[in-house]
Amino acid sequence: MNKNMTNKPEKKTDDRAGKMKLYSIGSVVLLIAIILLVNILFDRIFGKSLSFDFSDTAQNSVSQATVDYLDSLPADTHIRIVGLFSRPGNVSGTSYQYIIPLLDDYVRESDGKVTVEYVNPTENPSIIYQLDPNNSYDLSSKADSFVVEYNGKIRVISPIDCYMYDEQVYKYYGQYYITGNNTEFTFTNTMFNLTSDYSFKAYIVTGLKEEGNSYLTKILDSMAVETAELPVSANFVIPEDCDLLIINGPNSDISENMYVAMTDYLTGGGKMFVAVDYNLANVSEKYTRLNLLLNQMNINIDPVLISENDPAYQLGSSVDSTVMAADEFADYSNIKYLHSSYARNIRIIENYEAGLYTNPVLLTSQKASLVELDEQGNSVDSDINTENQYNVAACSSGYGNDPAKVYVFGTLNFSSDEYISSYGLSDSNVDFLKSCIRDLSSTKPMTGLNIATKQINNFSLDAQKSTTALSTVILIVFMIAIPVLLVAAAVIVYIKRKNL
């Protein structure tokens, strides 16, 4: 038989193999599409609940108070945060370490109401004019700062504004020793202020040998109070837009022209907050002209030191003690007993000026005494040492719709940089101070948002919430294992079906 004529079985093509091949490829493509779609939907629906912050004090997450504030804003709100620098690739160990990750969380939580961008003025100089057309804030000199903008109004936040630091270390060594993270407090309250229609301006008198007012300014900013310095000068004038005049920690008396200007201010219904203490820098200062001013409100700052003799009130020494809020002011803080140190007696002058309502604000125990000191700070024997109850703070106001009103504190434990930097912006003394400031506002709309300071020295992984191993497991499972298993399953299905 002819070999060429040999019958060979005709090779038949099974269409199923081609179809299965296409089916397998299509399945893989469909699976990838489903994964992408589910990922997008999960991010949109469950993004917040599936975000994890493993730090013990939630350094990288905004608190519920901020979330509630952002949710309360109208949907068309646009708050723009601009970092005047190029965003670092790695923020660890920089001043932005606790700032930039938290700002990212603002964007996630705000549903488009907050945007964050980084624009280097050196590369894009137009950003300065865009944010501050009138050059009111000199942004060109603040290239490492953030600008928060809303409806044409801006506030500048430098990195150091976001931290608590040890005031004593900075005072003596010129270095910032960071003790707390106030990033959320600073940014949330700045946004709150910008989105509020309320206007209230406080002027802080400077040039009386005071230590500083940076933390007091932060507190006022958090309450939607605009602040400005009012330096001592030969032609001292209180601006017409002054809603509150503050003298905080003076170690020298006011001048004659300041006395005249402040007298006119009080006569016109002005509001004042005054705080002093007793230290070696002012031990011989009797504040003669300042007292002449305050005497018009039935208050006098005595040149004596309060000594607490009741052991139940003492906090380590007779000049470092607790004080009790008077009944009328008991709800000004969440606790009635507050912290005072190196306080002067704030005496109420009985029946001096008629038509005034004058009351003690903070009181010692019934066993306190007054100590007179010489210019070196040594105790002087006198007949004023009798045990009694004395005033660490007092308040006085006139009657009517909008009368003059003053708060006078004999201790700086409520308003000084040294105290607040040590105890934080959430301290009970600070809460009490805020209530006094609100009372000095006739309309009292100032609230601010109570955002707690996050202690950096507690920035660690919480063993109850997470461990490094757990973090690694989550990374491996969600970022590696699940995608690999899905791809492997698709490959196996393809191999099995292509030979059918």
How do residues 214-238 score in pLDDT, each as one tens digit?
A: 989 988 887 878 899 999 999 999 9
Q: Which helix (H) or strand (E) segment is 441 a member of?
A: none
Residue 25 φ/ψ, nearest 5 degrees: -65, -45
The pLDDT of residue 81: 97
Q: Which helix (H) or strand (E) segment is 3 a member of?
A: none
Q: 201: helix, coil or strand? A: strand
Indicate if the pLDDT at residue 138 is higher than 50.
Answer: yes
Reported as half-sphere exposure (CB side, CA atoms, 13 A), residue 65 has a value of 14
For residues 138-165, average pLDDT: 88
Does the predicted model carry a pTM greater than 0.75? no
For residues 408-436, average pLDDT: 92
The pLDDT of residue 460: 37
Contact 51, 107 (CB under 8 A): no
Q: Distance between CA 106 and CA 62 in Å, rounded?
A: 7
- In which band, very low, low, confident or very high, does the pLDDT at 185 lie, cut at 50, 70 and 90? confident
The pLDDT of residue 196: 82
The pLDDT of residue 2: 53
Q: Distance between CA 148 and CA 186 in Å, rounded?
A: 11
For residues 151-180, average pLDDT: 77
- In which band, very low, low, confident or very high, does the pLDDT at 465 lie, cut at 50, 70 and 90? very low
Indicate if the pLDDT at residue 394 is higher than 80.
Answer: yes
The pLDDT of residue 268: 93
Beta bridge partners of 81: 116, 148
Kindly report the average pLDDT of the chain as a whole number. 83
Right CATH number for 60-193 from 3.30.930.10, 3.40.50.261, 3.40.30.10, 3.30.70.890? 3.40.30.10
- The sign one gets for the Cα dihedral 174, 176, 177, 182 is positive
The pLDDT of residue 459: 38
Tokens found for residue 242 = 């002054």
Indicate if the pLDDT at residue 484 is higher than 70.
Answer: yes
Higher-confidence position of 482 and 348: 348
Indicate if the pLDDT at residue 395 is higher than 70.
Answer: yes
Name the residue type at position 2. Answer: N
Q: Where are the domains of the chain?
A: 17-52+466-498, 60-193, 196-448
Q: Distance between CA 31 and CA 491 in Å, rounded?
A: 12
Indicate if the pLDDT at residue 47 is higher than 60.
Answer: no
Indicate if the pLDDT at residue 16 is higher than 70.
Answer: no
Residues with Cβ within 8 Å of residue 243, at least 6 apart in sequence: 200, 201, 202, 271, 441
For residues 428-457, average pLDDT: 75
Could you write out the DSSP letters of every residue in 229-263? EEE--TT----TT-SEEEEES-SSPPPHHHHHHHH
The pLDDT of residue 21: 65
How far are the Cα atoms of 292, 303, 343 from residue 288, in angstroms, in the given order? 6, 10, 18
Lowest-pLDDT range, 31-40, 187-196, 256-265, 330-339?
A: 31-40
Lowest-pLDDT range, 80-84, 142-146, 461-465?
A: 461-465
The total number of residues written for the chain in this structure: 500
Q: Distance between CA 116 and CA 118 in Å, rounded?
A: 7
The pLDDT of residue 475: 54
Q: Distance between CA 451 and CA 102 in Å, rounded?
A: 14
Higher-confidence position of 443 and 420: 420
DSSP 8-state class, residue 478: I
The pLDDT of residue 153: 86
Residues with Cβ within 8 Å of residue 434, at least 6 apart in sequence: 219, 223, 448
> CA Rg, the chain, in Å?
33
For residues 272-291, average pLDDT: 95
The CATH topology of domain 196-448 is: Rossmann fold (3.40.50)
Lowest-pLDDT range, 139-153, 222-236, 352-366, 373-387?
A: 373-387
Most confident of 159-168, 258-267, 467-476: 258-267
Q: Distance between CA 448 and CA 192 in Å, rounded?
A: 7
The pLDDT of residue 134: 82
